[in-house]
Amino acid sequence: MSRRVPVGVSVSLAVLAAVAVAAAFAPWLVPGATAQDLMTGISGPGPGHPLGTDDLGRDVLQLLVAGARTAVPGALAVAAGSMLIGNLIGLAAGYFGGWVDTLAMRWADLMFSLPALLVAIVVAGVLGGGYGPAIGVLVVLFAPTDTRVVRGAVLEQRHRPYIEAALLKNLSSWRIMTRHIWPNIASVALASAFLNFAYALVSLSSLSFLGLGVPAGSPDWGRTLADNRTQLLANPWAVVAPGLAIIATAAALNIVGDWLHERVDRRGRTR
Amino acid sequence: MLRVDDLTVRQPATGRTLLSGVSFEVAPGESVAIVGESGSGKSLTVRALLGLLPGGLESHGQVVIDGQRVDDDPRARRRQRGGTVSLLMQDPFTLLNPLRKAGRQIADGLPSGADPKAEVPRLLAEVGLPAEVAERYPFQLSGGMRQRVGLAAALAAAPRVLVADEPTTALDATTQREVLALIRRVQRERDMTFLLITHDLRLAFSMCDRIMVMYAGRVMEVGRAAELREEQHHPYTRALLAAEPPADRRLAVIPSVPGSVPAHDAVADRCGFADRCAHAVAACRVGVPELRSIGAAGVPEARPLDGGRLSACVRAEELPVAPAPPLGVAATPRGAAEPILDIRDLRKTYPGASRPALAGVSLSVAPGEIVAVVGESGSGKTTLARCVTGLERPDSGTVLLDGGDCSDYTRMTRQAVRRARRTAQMIFQDPYSTLNPARTVGATLKEALAADGRPPDVGALLDLVGLDPALAALRPANLSGGERQRVAIARAVAGEPRLLVCDEPVSALDVSVQAQVLTLLAGLRERLSMGMLFITHDLAVVRQLADRLYVLRAGECLESGPVQRVLDAPDHPYTRKLLDSVPDGSSAWPGQSSE
């Protein structure tokens, strides 16, 4: 078993680290990101503006850094929220079986049959837009993915002798579920959460792109992309850069999630 | 016919060597058994021989099959596999493709030009199956029939060498005997060269002309079956033979060897068995002892590989004469007190099953008494154990644990359930899934002690089951199978239960480790005066450990009574058949194959 981290994973970790730093420290790193400079207007890359400016004269690179602060925490909240809900329901469904399982699975089917983005658009539209409701809707719509994955993994563990031994020790169901089963399925739960993270990032950016996420003028990858798409020829970087940021972050999340899954899965399983 | 010279198997990625210095020859028509415990390298040896090593392993050394050197010629090897050489695998349940009819799978092996319509029924008849089996899918066949189909497929190409890797380990004892008898008959009729891999020395004595004993990736001893059975020139062979307890008499103590099989690299500079050997001297730990010929005068023979006695023990000649087999002792009768477990007319039919798993079974266990339940797969013995501990709910009948009705755990009060759980605990068969892989041994045992209302003294508990308290910091992945089973026993006896339900606790362990665990269980019974319901298929284990015995078949109890009475003079023909299925090491066993 090799301890070396593959190159693809190293690059992905570096991307995520950069995005995390940008998200955490954007106000200090780029305090004037949203300052407009209408005299400059839109321009291509040049001195002082490595990625050029948008039509309001804002530096695209600074917007990108500031945009991480809106794009990432929302997606993280969706991933964490749906992981929590999905894992609890999935554990209960797999462990208790019977009507608990039926109820949970039919709920998951129902959620799967709804087009997530469309529901988010409708809810955001009815509630007058805004980031908060969009996140709430995505948590509810993403949780079934975790529920299904976790339930399947629990079913595999449920009748192992070590679970039966815990039953015979008269341990509570809660303790068996959280302390005995969950650590053994943590790898799939984590992998699923990372997948949701990537999906949520793309979905929230799409909402912002459609004007239903962050308010106009806020720095956000999806928003920047939308605002500048008419100026594609004047400064292509104002469109390409936020798009690349979304793609790179989502791809990095997938790769790191997959790698973590394998690492956690390997722990405790080598004979 | 077959020659292997200085075979080494290595894993280049980790630099580990898994076996080295293995050399042997098999003459045409001869049968040779490679015997060893898990980790001995017996399976790797034949896989290297056939060029079927798992990915990441590579072998060095000369392999000659049918006069042709094949180790450096993959094409020759491919031509020979399934032609000159055929392999019979271990697990009959995964051996056949579930989506193809048996007949087509047999026909796959036929040489080109042969007519499947004529050949398949002929092959099926040879392995004692009717021709219509060709039209059936594997799921319609029993384990024994599948293994016969596997044999027919292996024979299809008329091989000159048949290699069988633990062909009957997954089968019931009575089926094992039939299949082995069949293999031997076919091997003799076809005059095939036969290479058998097994962990069972007595089975090897009965099946083969010569035996090669392996340990930790090296050959320990080689000899003719009859001679090796009479006298062993290597302490390991003796230990292996002694650890397999006899079914015909009870021993005062089950001889066991401390420790477990080391990795090949861990003993690269000495005799692999030295650390567990009672006869070891300083010379055993200086260099790897050479496999040498043990002649009458100690003169090396010209061709030591074929037929001579070989031993890798530096003290082979000066080993004391093997002690005579110990005499049997009578079991001390016990029980008479109020039973700790009383089962009356227990019935259980699984949903969708065609016949009941339990069809009215009654039994009782007295405090401190070991009661064995013997049966083959499908006899209902495991269902019985699970009903006692409440892991299954019986359809009808009563289970009285220490006088309290525990027939239906869902209708009991919390206090009653807790009392029942502290009265009866269980240990399971598979040492690899019996412990939570994510938790350390210490966490598992601390939790068990807390659940049973005991002080959290993990060290004392590990000590009770003969383990080093330092093991508490480890996870199950770092333990051997025997160590895991000991931890599982510690977990079960943490609260000193009055009844321990054991579901085949040693059947997945190597023989030398099996003896250790049986000794531990016998000792714990004395120290904690704990009753045991011991589920097993192994009559030898029953003879050594149990006081009373129930024989189960298809959910019904056929015979019961004191172990000595039932095993010495069985009333029921089925019990007799089970007894006959235990390998006794004689050349008469397994007898004629019945058609």
- Whole-number pLDDT of residue B333: 64
| Band of residue B306 on the pLDDT scale cut at 50, 70, 90 | low
- Whole-number pLDDT of residue B299: 45
Give the chain B residue whose CA is nearest to the CA of A187. B438
Q: How large is the angle between the packed helices A7-29 and A60-96, nearest 10 degrees? A: 120
Is the preceding omega at residue B590 within 30 degrees of 0, hence cis? yes
Could you give the CA distance from residue B292 to residue B298 in angstroms, rounded to a whole number? 9
Q: Which of A162, A170, A183 comes nearest B451 by C-beta?
A: A170
3-state per-residue secondary structure call for B135-204: HCCHHHCCHHHHHHHHHHHHHCCCCCEEEEECCCCCCCHHHHHHHHHHHHHHHHHHCCEEEEEECCHHHH
Asked whether residue B431 carries a pLDDT value surpassing 60, the answer given is yes
Q: Does A190 contact chain B (CB < 8 Å)?
A: no
Half-sphere exposure of A137 (CA within 13 A, CB side): 25
Q: Which of B422, B477, B491 comes nearest A165 by C-beta?
A: B491
| Complete edge-to-edge strand list for the sheet that includes strand B2-11 | B16-26, B2-11, B58-65, B68-69
| Whether CATH 3.30.1390.10 fits B2-84+159-245+254-311 | no
Same fold, B2-84+159-245+254-311 and B341-436+496-580: yes
Least confident of B27-41, B73-87, B487-501: B73-87
Name the stretches of chain A with pLDDT < 50. 1, 270-271
Q: Which residue has the tokens 């074929």?
A: B306
Could you give the CA distance from residue A223 to residue A205 in angstroms, rounded to a whole number? 7
Q: How many domains does chain A have?
A: 1
Q: Which domain holds residue A29?
A: 7-41+52-247+254-266
Q: Does A168 contact chain B (CB < 8 Å)?
A: yes
Where b means 16+ CB within 10 Å and e means fewer, A128-158 reads ebebebbbbbbbbbbbbbbbbbbbebbeebe
Fold that domain B341-436+496-580 belongs to in CATH: Rossmann fold (3.40.50)
- Whole-number pLDDT of residue A164: 93
- % of chain B beyond a pLDDT of 70: 95
Q: Which of B390, B435, B451 comes nearest A171 by C-beta?
A: B451
- Whole-number pLDDT of residue A119: 83
Measured in whole angstroms, the distance separating CA B541 from the mean position of its chain's CA atoms is: 12
pTM: 0.85
Which chain A residues have a beta carbon less than 8 Å from that of B447?
A: 169, 171
Q: How is residue B108 written in tokens?
A: 């796959």
Query: Which CATH number covers residue A118?
Result: 1.10.3720.10
Q: Which residue has the tokens 């045992």?
A: B445
Spans of all domains in chain B: 2-84+159-245+254-311, 102-153, 341-436+496-580
What is the mean predicted confidence (pLDDT) over B425-442?
Answer: 92
DSSP H helices, B424-472, are 441-451, 458-464
- Whole-number pLDDT of residue A1: 45
Q: pLDDT per residue over B383-415, tens digit each?
A: 999 999 999 999 999 999 998 899 988 889 999
| Band of residue B595 on the pLDDT scale cut at 50, 70, 90 | very low
> B436, A166: Cβ pair inside 8 Å?
yes
> B425, A162: Cβ pair inside 8 Å?
no
- Whole-number pLDDT of residue B33: 94
Q: Which residue has the tokens 């608990």?
A: A100
What is the mean predicted confidence (pLDDT) over B297-315?
Answer: 63
- Whole-number pLDDT of residue A3: 61
Q: Does A171 contact chain B (CB < 8 Å)?
A: yes
Inside any domain, residue A1: no
Which chain B residues have a beta carbon less than 8 Å from that of A271?
A: 432, 477
- Whole-number pLDDT of residue B304: 44
Q: How much is the mean pLDDT over chain B?
A: 88
Q: pLDDT per residue over B133-160, tens digit each?
A: 999 999 888 888 999 999 999 999 889 9
Least confident of B73-87, B317-331, B374-388, B526-540: B317-331
Q: How is residue A7 written in tokens?
A: 């190159």
- Whole-number pLDDT of residue B95: 84
Q: Does B488 contact chain A (CB < 8 Å)?
A: yes
> A184, B428: Cβ pair inside 8 Å?
no
Which chain B residues have a beta carbon less than 8 Å from that of A176?
A: none
Q: pLDDT per residue over B225-275, tens digit each?
A: 988 888 888 999 988 888 888 888 888 888 878 888 888 888 888 888 888
Contact B579, B247 (CB under 8 A): yes
Q: pLDDT per residue over B348-388, tens digit each?
A: 999 888 889 999 999 999 999 999 999 988 899 999 999 99
> A271, B426: Cβ pair inside 8 Å?
no
Q: How is residue A11 written in tokens?
A: 């690059």
Give the chain A residue whose CA is nearest to the CA of B390. A168
Asked whether residue B302 carries a pLDDT value surpassing 70, the answer given is no
Which chain A residues have a beta carbon less than 8 Å from that of B389?
A: 168
| Band of residue B307 on the pLDDT scale cut at 50, 70, 90 | low
Q: Which of B430, B438, B475 comes nearest A161 by C-beta?
A: B430
Q: pLDDT per residue over B53-101, tens digit each?
A: 888 888 888 899 888 888 877 788 887 877 888 888 887 778 888 899 9
- Whole-number pLDDT of residue B298: 46
Inside any domain, residue A271: no
